Amino acid sequence: MNILIAVASRHGSTREIADMIAQELRDSGHAVEVRNADEVRDVERYDAAVVGSAVYMGSWLAEARRFVEQNRTTLLSVPVWLFSSGPLGEDPQPPGDPAHLDELMQAAKARDHRVFVGKLNKSNLGFGERLAVKMVKAPEGDFRDHEAICGWAREIALTLPPSTPRGD
């Protein structure tokens, strides 16, 4: 299958999660493209989609929400999965799903959604972001669970029909 992973990442951590998912799907025999959500113009050429976003202040980034809304009709015709990246720490905070997740799940008729713990490198942040991080006492570090990410990608691969080579 030809799979799109559309991702919105502010500092690269969520993009790295998308790349991990892509590699697992490729290892399962699928063709996968990871693209920035705000740059995808040809959704109809894919057989399945995974859409992911970093979560800031409890919400998906605007470009990921916009991607789902603008491609709603096409997404309804293919299997879709959503993921979020954002909580931090050994006891991930904030807990729960991002705001408006139910609406996004409905808009895409997504089969599943997963929240993955993220990564924070304060040196990559702008002034305003550093202030917000300080206010909420967000812990610095890489808290991503690679096995959870790859395991979810393998679950997705198991639900998809095996890829068949396209004719020339």
**Burial (CB count within 10 angstroms: exposed 0-12, middle 13-18, buried 19+), residue 129:** middle
Q: Cβ neighbours of residue 141 under 8 Å, at least 6 residues apart? A: 88, 119, 120
Domains and CATH numbers, the chain: 2-159 (3.40.50.360)
Confidence band (pLDDT; 50, 70, 90) for 96? low
Cβ atoms 79, 51 nearer than 8 A: no
Element (H, E) at 155: helix 146-159
Query: Rounded to an integer, what distance in angstroms lies between the CA atom of residue 40 and that of residue 33?
Result: 11
What is the value of pTM for the model shown?
A: 0.85
Express each pLDDT in 102-143 by its tens digit.
999 999 999 999 998 766 666 676 776 666 666 666 656 666
Tell me the C-alpha distance between 88 and 109, whole Å.
28
